[in-house]
Amino acid sequence: MGELLAEGVVEELGTAPSPGGKPPILVGVADNSRLILAVDVSNDEYRGALVNLRGKIAEEMVRPVGRLQGQEALEAAYTLAGELLAKSPVPLLGIGISTPGLVDPQEGVVYQAVNRGWVDVPLRALFAERYGLPVFVANDSHMMALAEASFGSGRGRRRLVAIKVGEGIGTGIVVDGQLYLGDGFGAGEIGHLVVVDEGLPCRCGNRGCLETVAGVRAIQQRTEEEARRFPESALAAALDRFPSSIEALGEAARQGDPTALALVHTIGRHLGIGVAALVSVLNIERIVIHGPVRHLGPPLLQAIGAEARRRALERLVRATRIEFSQLGEKAALLGASALLSSVLGLP
């Protein structure tokens, strides 16, 4: 603590009532004395931010990268981090990186990220060598779980599950205030749970994975297909008005369009299979869903709950609150900030 005081990272706030002897000195984080560089490379848009020590975003950048793979995907991450680094008005405490895939956060190695074409990529070592800062790396779903526990609806709760539905689908699990990673760091990898026998091929090499029917790309494709099949539907009309096909699907569902409602129900049924597995194994009563599927609203949550009740012990499912995150697109960045603050021991 003395070192943090000397560096101005924490500051004295006064004294507390003395139980006897010298009154203890209260200290707290000096919010803007340092910043954390957070980078999220898990979607078609890379996101980066400078975050203060209370989780407030001071500067944010978004860079479309499409489906970059391999070294090109890595170079795009370097570019975003470098641009943000140049904008920081105060010293940086470190870099937190949110990445898709199977990640060893202790070593900072991405063992496999299907969406990025990365295998055994030492992200921590690469960024630390380039920028000379402490670097911490974790799976994007794990980051979102940390964000919920630190800044979201799970704040103050000892246990929660965050499900990220994006290009991929993954889960972060918080138990007793700590991330549960599993022996091989793969706890919560429900995106590659097979939910459709002999279904569509998945980039992981299997068929019928949850990502192939409920991931963002799958939803976009199905929405456009259904709109073409039913050109007179409210869904087809909504596609002309909304920039996102998922937003269009949600709007048509709100209007009661049967085509849209049927598709939302199907998506929810598939996600409900994953939720049933989580509830049965973990019995954690707060599940928070992240990603653009929030635009599908209550019909999606109802379909998820109904399928989960059908597949798991109903008493457990009924005791489980399933809701959308309120943190929006910044969740992974906030999670990276929370991880770095925790590792560095900030109060």
What's the pLDDT band for 346 if we cut at 50, 70, 90? low
Q: What pLDDT is attached to residue 294?
A: 96
Q: What is the DSSP letter of 42?
A: S
What's the pLDDT band for 27 if we cut at 50, 70, 90? very low
For the cut 70, the answer to whether the pLDDT of residue 103 exceeds it is yes
What's the pLDDT band for 55 if we cut at 50, 70, 90? confident
Task: Give backbone dihedrals phi and psi of 143, rounded to 5 degrees, phi first.
Answer: -60, -40
* 297-311 and 258-282 helices, crossing angle to 10°: 50
For the cut 60, the answer to whether the pLDDT of residue 54 exceeds it is yes
The tokens describing 315, both together, are: 């008493």
What's the pLDDT band for 101 if we cut at 50, 70, 90? confident
For the cut 70, the answer to whether the pLDDT of residue 68 exceeds it is yes
Nearest to 322 by CA among 281, 296, 295, 284: 284
Percentage above 90 pLDDT, the chain: 66
When pLDDT is averaged across residues 192-219 and rounded to a whole number, the result is 93
When pLDDT is averaged across residues 13-33 and rounded to a whole number, the result is 53
What's the rounded Cα separation, in Å, for the pair 319 and 311? Answer: 15
When pLDDT is averaged across residues 306-324 and rounded to a whole number, the result is 96
Fold of 35-146+330-343: Nucleotidyltransferase; domain 5 (3.30.420)
What's the rounded Cα separation, in Å, for the pair 91 and 76? Answer: 23
Q: What is the mean pLDDT of the chain?
A: 88
Q: What pLDDT is attached to residue 22?
A: 58
Q: Where in the chain is the domain with CATH 3.30.420.40?
A: 35-146+330-343, 155-326
What's the rounded Cα separation, in Å, for the pair 272 and 338? Answer: 29
Sign of the torsion formed by the C-alpha atoms of 133, 138, 144 and 145: negative
**Tens digit of each residue's pLDDT (9 = 90 or more) over 157-193:** 889 999 999 888 999 999 988 889 999 888 988 999 9
When pLDDT is averaged across residues 284-307 and rounded to a whole number, the result is 96
Global pTM value: 0.84
When pLDDT is averaged across residues 61-68 and rounded to a whole number, the result is 90
SS3 of the chain: CHHHHHCCCEEEEEECCCCCCCCCEEEEECCCCCEEEEEECCCCEEEEEEECCCCCEEEEEEEECCCCCHHHHHHHHHHHHHHHHHHCCCCEEEEEEEECCEEECCCCEEEEECCCCEEEECHHHHHHHHHCCCEEEEEHHHHHHHHHHHHCCCCCCCEEEEEEECCCEEEEEEECCEECCCCCCCCCCHHHCECCCCCCECCCCCECEHHHHHCHHHHHHHHHHHHHHCCCCHHHHHHCCCCCHHHHHHHHHHCCCHHHHHHHHHHHHHHHHHHHHHHHHHCCCEEEEECHHHHHHHHHHHHHHHHHHHHCCHHHHHCCEEEECCCHHHHHHHHHHHHHHHHCCCC
Fold of 155-326: Nucleotidyltransferase; domain 5 (3.30.420)
User: What DSSP element (H or E) covers 273?
Assistant: helix 258-282
When pLDDT is averaged across residues 293-317 and rounded to a whole number, the result is 97
For the cut 80, the answer to whether the pLDDT of residue 7 exceeds it is no
